[in-house]
Amino acid sequence: MDESSESTEVSNGGEDSRQGRFQMVPVRFLLPNLITLLALCSGVTSIRLAVEGRYELAVAAVMLAVVLDAVDGRLARLLKGTSRFGAELDSLADFVNFGVAPAILLYTWSLNSLKTAGWVIALVLAICCALRLARFNVALDDPHKPAWSSRFFTGAPAPAGAGLALLPFYLGFLGLVDDGHDFAILIGPYVVGVALLMVSRVPTFSGKNMGSIPREMVLPVLGLAAFAVIMLIAFPWEFLTVVSLVYLALIPVSMRSHSQLKRADAARSEASAGPGV
């Protein structure tokens, strides 16, 4: 190989590397990640607000992170902008927003009166959130899941777990809990229960398979969504309290529905296998 050909290869290699380095990235990949980063900013800001004692704004910041988390995933699927990077970023943001932030809020508002035990409870909430997210990411790669399993989550998802864990705050803002420190002995076991629900095998309903609705249901669904937004703005703590209680009440229903579908799937498998030899 002569010197000219070698220099040509080097120059081509350098050009290819520069092209790879400056390759254009479609905007559809950037928008969902930008929303994820905004959700992360909201979650971290809630920690600052809690340290400053502005708990209503702190809880509102966590709820904003919940809304943004719901938007970024759906926007990514709508724009066909899903990516491995976005999935990893979303999981890291969810851990901060729905594990670390609620744990710190609850500790500073109530659980610190239990001293070390209160801090352990806060750690349990954060750790269970991390474990739940890790299990969810691994379950995405399971090719043997039946189609009907997409209707359910295994355990409470991280945003729902954060919303449930903050239920004592909603009651406090409504005047039903005068001081979180006075009720720490009750709030502590409740938070542990929510943490265990996140890592449990309890099936809970998932709304991710609601990609389309019948035409005749469009107006009722839009009206219900508008009513929910109005109630959230006008009566935020009453609305969030009702939503949390309804979610808890639906868990036995989801367990029953999951069990029925599982039995029906097993019956179909046995029927297709035919009689044994």
How high is the mean pLDDT in each 10-residue block of the chain (277 residues)? 46 50 65 92 97 96 94 80 82 95 96 95 97 85 67 90 96 90 94 96 78 73 88 94 95 90 76 60
Residue 11 in domain: no
- Residue 38, domain member (yes or no): yes
Give Dmax (Cα) for the chain.
Answer: 85
Number of structural domains (the chain) is 1
pLDDT at 87: 84
251 within a domain of the structure (yes/no): yes
Look at residue 6 in the predicted model and tell me its pLDDT: 44
Give me the pLDDT at residue 50, please: 95
- The pLDDT value recorded for residue 208 is 64
For the chain, what's the residue count? Answer: 277
The reply to whether 21 falls in a domain is: no
* Cα separation, 90 vs 40, whole angstroms: 9
Determine the pLDDT at residue 136: 85
Does residue 3 sit within a domain?
no
Question: What span, in angstroms and rounded, lies between the C-alpha atoms of 208 and 205?
Answer: 9
Q: Which domain holds residue 92?
A: 27-259
Whether the CB-CB separation of 102 and 125 falls below 8 Å is answered with yes
State pTM to two decimals. 0.83
CATH of the domain at 220: 1.20.120.1760
pLDDT at 143: 62
Residue 87 lies in a domain: yes
Could you tell me if residue 20 is inside a domain?
no
Q: Is position 58 within any domain?
A: yes
